[in-house]
Chains A and B, each alone.
Chain A
Amino acid sequence: MSITLISKEGAQFLVSKPVADRIGVVRDCAYGADFWLGYAVATDDSMGITLANVTSSILSKILVWCEHYKDMEPLVDGDSNMEFPEWDMAYIGHDMNQILFVLEAADYLHIPGLLLLACKGIADVLDGRNPRGICDLLGIVMDFSHRQEVDMDKENGYWRWFLHPT
């Protein structure tokens, strides 16, 4: 059994059930209420699900992950100390722009494992950069008021000391 997923641009992706099952909204949509009432799943080959917020390029990227994880459980819970498999880190890469789109799509499509990986990917890109570098990379404008900067200096006094005790 397979399901057709339709991207924002209208491109069709034919995916098998185990792959589509990784995507929370597709799973809920395909089974619908019938699944919980215990009927047979009312899905046929011609069925299509439109994912209006996801572009073709991001959807095909996401389907690579779903394909990889169709038979195994991804990590769905973790913090700064956890290690991801090598495949995951290579998959998510260091392209901030792309990771952000993957993150937003994973959030929208309800894919907790991929959401976690995207968060880790972004954190890795941010790691080792100074505040100025982060602003330049992401085009963020520093918006601190003078008072807040003074407050933060006090805090940073502590943290600088924490990182480099003398």
Chain B
Amino acid sequence: MMDDLSSIEHLPVELLNEIFDHLDTSAALSCAQVCRLWLAAARRVLYRRIELSHQDLDRSVKLGHTLLICTEARHSVRHIKITVDAHTDDVLLPHLAWINDVREGQIQKVVLDDNTSRPSLPLLTSLLLKSPAGRSAQFLQLYGSFFDDDFHPSGTRAIELQNLRRMNISFAPGYDSPSWMLVHFPRLLMLDIKSSGYSPAMSVLLRTVSTSLQLLWLTWRTGNTDMGTSLQPCDQASLTGALSALTRLLSLSVDLNLSQPAAVLDDAMPHLVSLKVLTCCRGAFSEVLFSRLPPTVVLLMLGSNTNDGFPRDNKFLRHGWIAAARVRSGESALKYLWYFDHGDADIEREFAEECQNAGIDFLSVGLLMDSNQD
């Protein structure tokens, strides 16, 4: 090895990058001004994760300008986070012009965040989905409403999100647009849908991802009201239909916080032929779940429905015997059944015994609390 102090100049770029990963912003800024090689390595740190927000508009405007005029800076961006804090979404738009000028495959993650909890940002969502930034991202977080105005079934070009692996998306309840039919996600594995109720666009989206999707979270929260969300019979049918198409799904988590039972899962069950893990809350299924549970399911987690308007059935587990019988006959691979609800203690104890005999690991909140009191 050289006994020369300047050996840092001979370090491979990968090592220099690793060193710079430990620098904070001000140190990276000093290092950027040392020499050309260091400037490139420092830009990697300075622009890797960028954030634009309404609250910080002054800074966001300057950053947007820098990214527009400096190609090297623009090419260093990997993660983009945009935080919207107003009722319109066009304030930041002029400062995102650079987003159309990044390299294909460069951006890994795009997050669109909304502090007003009004998930309607059609312009931003549209810009992100159509730009090379959105097209190359592996992770996207955005809102369900987009480019309503310029949608023409024949004229609009389809959008291919080739690299996308995971998407978190929020829908406004009732939002209906065929636009999602034009977006293709050939490699999407994980999808997390949040909403405060059903929107038809949700079913459209689910149908476009049915060939690749392996993990799905579907969560509806109603905010301050605790009466839960309602689901019309026709909406239930189209949601069930969309879920039925997910034949490659390994894990499904459904938490709909319904105001009255709407057995969304019952008719979808026989079609989910790859499912291994199912998490759902009471109300989204009826007692036929136990007999229709796909034979591949290993872990079943049943939650409670916590809103006030929901009718309770503390003897629900009496329907569970059929699940144990199916395991005994070798028809079902169920190994774990976890029950997060306060049911009838006698039924739960009896069911626990039945499960033990069938080789199912049964766990319930009620029994756990009882055993803690003993």
Contacts and interface: CB of A to CB of B under 8 A. Distances in A.
A38 interface: no
A115 B14 CA distance: 12
Interface string A130-165: 110011001111111000100110111111011101
B368 interface: no
Given A123-B20, A158-B66, 19 more contacts: A78-B22, A105-B1, A126-B30, A127-B24, A129-B27, A129-B30, A130-B30, A134-B31, A140-B35, A143-B36, A144-B35, A144-B39, A148-B36, A151-B70, A154-B69, A154-B70, A155-B32, A159-B29, A165-B59
Nearest to B26: A163
A154 B66 contact: yes
A143 B15 contact: no
Interface in B14-52: 15, 18-27, 29-36, 38-39, 46
Contacts of A157: 62, 66
A55 B66 contact: no
Interface of A: 8, 53-55, 58, 78-80, 96-97, 100-101, 103-105, 107, 115-116, 119-120, 122-124, 126-131, 134-135, 138-144, 148, 151-152, 154-159, 161-163, 165
A123 B31 CA distance: 10
A144 B66 contact: no
Contact of A119 (B19, B34, B63, B73): B19
Contacts of A162: 25, 59, 62-63
Contact of B24 (A78, A80, A154): A80
Contact of A53 (B1, B24, B25, B34): B1
Nearest to A54: B1
A105 B11 CA distance: 12
A123 B22 contact: yes
A interface SS class? helix
Nearest to A142: B35
B8 interface: yes
Given A131-B34, A144-B36, A158-B63, A115 B27 contact: no
Given A127-B23, A155-B66, A140 B7 contact: no
Contacts of A156: 29, 32-33
Contacts of B24: 80, 127
Nearest to B33: A131
6 contacts: A96-B5, A101-B1, A119-B18, A140-B9, A141-B35, A163-B25
Nearest to A139: B6
B interface SS class? helix
Given A100-B7, A155-B73, A140 B34 contact: yes
Contacts of A127: 23-24, 27
Given A119-B21, A139-B5, A152 B59 contact: no
A119 to B, nearest CB: 5
Interface string B66-82: 10011001000000000
A104 B59 contact: no
B58 interface: yes
A7 B252 CA distance: 57
A159 to B, nearest CB: 5
A107 B15 contact: yes
A96 B69 CA distance: 36
Nearest to B8: A138
Contacts of B30: 126, 129-131, 134
